[in-house]
Chain A
Amino acid sequence: MVRAARILFLAVLSTLALAGRAAHAKVTIRDDRGVTVSLDAPPRRIVTLLPSLTESVCAMGACDRLVGTDRFSNWPKSVEALPKLGGLDDAQVERIVALKPDVVLASVAARLMDRLESLGVRVMAFDARSRADVKRTLAALGQLLEAPGQADEVWAGVERDIRAAAARVPAAARGQRVYFEVDPTPYAAGPDSFIGETLRELGLRNALPAALGPFPKLNPEFVVRTQPDIVMGAEASVADMAGRPGWTALHALRDHRTCGLPLPTYELVVRPGPRMGEAAAALADCLARLPPPASTR
């Protein structure tokens, strides 16, 4: 009899517990690896290992839930005070675990996901190459933070800013072919990269064919042969171009039709996150300053 009562008691207790858990919103999200991550509750302690993810979390008003970021995250200002936990290749596992994050947000290229997961840390990995990827990542984060409305709002803001920037692009710049250098090796942004898509929204064409993929490493000679109308890249890369063998033949360099972006602007443009609208505005600013194409002078 006593035994039966005990069983009944336990059954009631576990039903109550289950009901309690169900009342507590359970969050289940599939990340870009195809891994389904479920949390018992929206995360309160978040570690981000990519600047664009840090920015996305903050754009959704959840900056105060961040307990640590990678060393490159520097926007908004407040994240600079957080513990810096290394980069994708050399993140500090011990410090991350010690921060007891509810979830770690990383890129699919991060090396230590398995290590973190084997230590019981939840990891969500995202892969942002195109604008659709960025939108998807924002939506997933909105679900994670239980703020889907916020995600929609952030994305709508991005699109609105890009449209506004596109409206400011001078007519002379429209249809111009752009070479956007990501790394002086040279790696460039192809039409299907999120940078390429922003350029297209601004009414520009890409000097590279889409077949090369989002971020191809090019033969330097190919760049000179394509003769882009406008050259964009980090300030230091653009300054370096005239010194490369044969690159003085680039009409864009000769005519000063270049956008050498200062580091903060460059970071803005190469991060696939919620500031893509701002990035488009910065590019539109540069386009407005460019001298007109030589053919129309």
Chain B
Amino acid sequence: MTSDAQRRLRLAVGLSIATALVAVAGMAAGGEGWSPARLLRDLGTADGRLLVFQIRAPRTLGAWLTGALLGLSGAAAQGLFRNPLADPYLLGSASGAVLGVVLVLAAAALGGHAISVATAHALARVGLVGAAFAGALVGVLLTLSLARGAQETMHLLLAGVVVGVLLTAASDLVTNAAPDALRGKQAFLLGSTGFLGWNSCAAMALGLAVTLPAAWRLARVLDALTLGTETAASLGLALGRLRVALVAVIALATGLAVSQAGLIAFVGLIAPHLVRRFAPARHGFTLVAGAAAGGTLLLIADVLARTLIAPQEVPVGILTALLGGGYLIWLLRKRRPA
């Protein structure tokens, strides 16, 4: 029988190897599909190097970072709600981000000729990312205020659902008034790793550098919560405050990920699942490994998105949903008694 420590080590090694392999594959997966020979040739020319280092490298790293942020916040959300079906979008961040994006798109569309091209351009560049991020945070703040803090996870969950429904309705209302925003909204809902550059990578790496240690420090709260709220409170933990801190970590990580890559489905739900299944552990490990698993998953999906029908692309959100859904089906079939 394998001890839990061994399983954890195995998972860590497995994830590291998989990430390294897929990252290398990702560097060799360009506009014409997967071709290591082409990568070597590209590294020999100035134009090729530019493609590799300005487009492919940041995209590959960015996909990993986006997945890691989602995996981390998914693991934190599942711990916070003590519910394996919780995902990082539950707290209203997804619907908030969509509303932010739609408002900017509609402003450009509704303003029409009143807005100069330069303004629309600036709005669209800084605006979409900024609006998605701000929207995600506003969504979570609404949830927190509706639930009157994070004292009761059930209230928080319900408030998150309500805020999600209301903000989605609001963005539908805006697209109804300004249908030109529909396509941009659709693209955001599908998620995309295609335009992740070094700026996106820097923002997300910074976010991960802040949220991962913070989550690590809050892991003991999640461990205590598994024993039940009362036991956790009897250990002297200021649950309300610590839960708000957790919510802040989830909001920041999720907001950063969705503002850079849109609403990528399933990664935040599946990554912590995978980790718990292969190596049951305290939350400290689950959070870190959840981030690593999320990164690896999205990286795999991104490389597939680029190579399956190159030079055309499959939207990466479709692939994460297929991979995640496939994993869940496999899990369900496996658990069925023989």
* A residues whose Cβ falls under 8 Å from a Cβ of B: 71-72, 87, 183, 185-186, 212, 216-227, 235-236, 239-240, 243-246, 249, 260, 263
Query: Chain B at the A interface: mostly helix, strand, loop or mixed?
Result: helix
In the complex, which residue of chain B has the Cβ closest to the Cβ of A70? Answer: B179
Measured CA separation A222–B197 after assembly (Å): 15
| Top 4 A-B pairs, shortest CB-CB distance | A245-B197, A222-B31, A246-B54, A246-B55
Q: Are A221 and B56 in contact (CB under 8 A)?
A: yes
Measured CA separation A236–B183 after assembly (Å): 14
Q: Are A220 and B311 in contact (CB under 8 A)?
A: no
Residues of B within 8 A of A227 (CB): 47
Residues of A within 8 A of B56 (CB): 221
Residues of B within 8 A of A235 (CB): 117
Residues of A within 8 A of B124 (CB): 236, 240
Q: Are A245 and B31 in contact (CB under 8 A)?
A: no
Q: Are A224 and B117 in contact (CB under 8 A)?
A: no
Measured CA separation A220–B50 after assembly (Å): 13
Instruction: Indicate whether A220 sits within 8 Å of B194 (C-beta atoms), given known contacts A185-B187, A236-B120, A239-B117.
Output: yes
Residues of B within 8 A of A236 (CB): 108, 117, 120-121, 124
In the complex, which residue of chain B has the Cβ closest to the Cβ of A235? Answer: B117
Instruction: Indicate whether A245 sits within 8 Å of B30 (C-beta atoms), given known contacts A219-B313, A239-B117.
Output: no
- B209-234 CB mask vs A (1 if < 8 Å, else 0) is 00000000000000000000000000
Interface pairs (8), CB distance under 8 Å: A185-B187, A212-B312, A219-B30, A220-B194, A224-B55, A226-B31, A236-B120, A240-B121
For the complex formed, measure the closest distance between the CB of A77 and the CB atoms of chain B, giving whole angstroms: 16
Q: Are A245 and B196 in contact (CB under 8 A)?
A: yes
B306 contacts the other chain (CB 8 A): yes
B125 contacts the other chain (CB 8 A): yes
For the complex formed, measure the closest distance between the CB of B194 and the CB atoms of chain A, giving whole angstroms: 5
For the complex formed, measure the closest distance between the CB of B203 and the CB atoms of chain A, giving whole angstroms: 13
CB contact between A225 and one of B51, B58, B117, B197 (< 8 Å): that residue = B51
Measured CA separation A245–B310 after assembly (Å): 19
Instruction: Indicate whether A219 sits within 8 Å of B312 (C-beta atoms), given known contacts A236-B108, A236-B120, A249-B47.
Output: yes
Residues of A within 8 A of B32 (CB): 222, 225
Q: Are B31 and A225 in contact (CB under 8 A)?
A: yes
Q: Are A220 and B195 in contact (CB under 8 A)?
A: yes
B8 contacts the other chain (CB 8 A): no
Residues of A within 8 A of B312 (CB): 212, 216-219
Q: Are A240 and B198 in contact (CB under 8 A)?
A: no
Q: Are B310 and A246 in contact (CB under 8 A)?
A: no
Q: Are A71 and B179 in contact (CB under 8 A)?
A: yes
For the complex formed, measure the closest distance between the CB of B101 and the CB atoms of chain A, giving whole angstroms: 13
For the complex formed, measure the closest distance between the CB of A239 and the CB atoms of chain B, giving whole angstroms: 4
B59 contacts the other chain (CB 8 A): yes
In the complex, which residue of chain A has the Cβ closest to the Cβ of B198? Answer: A245
B192 contacts the other chain (CB 8 A): yes
For the complex formed, measure the closest distance between the CB of A20 and the CB atoms of chain B, giving whole angstroms: 45
Q: Are B313 and A218 in contact (CB under 8 A)?
A: yes
Residues of B within 8 A of A72 (CB): 179
In the complex, which residue of chain A has the Cβ closest to the Cβ of B121? Answer: A239
Looking at A183, A223, A227, A239, the one whose CB has the most chain B CB atoms below 10 A away is: A239
Q: Are A245 and B313 in contact (CB under 8 A)?
A: no
Q: Are A218 and B311 in contact (CB under 8 A)?
A: yes
Q: Are A246 and B197 in contact (CB under 8 A)?
A: yes
In the complex, which residue of chain A has the Cβ closest to the Cβ of B195? Answer: A244
Residues of B within 8 A of A246 (CB): 50-51, 54-55, 197
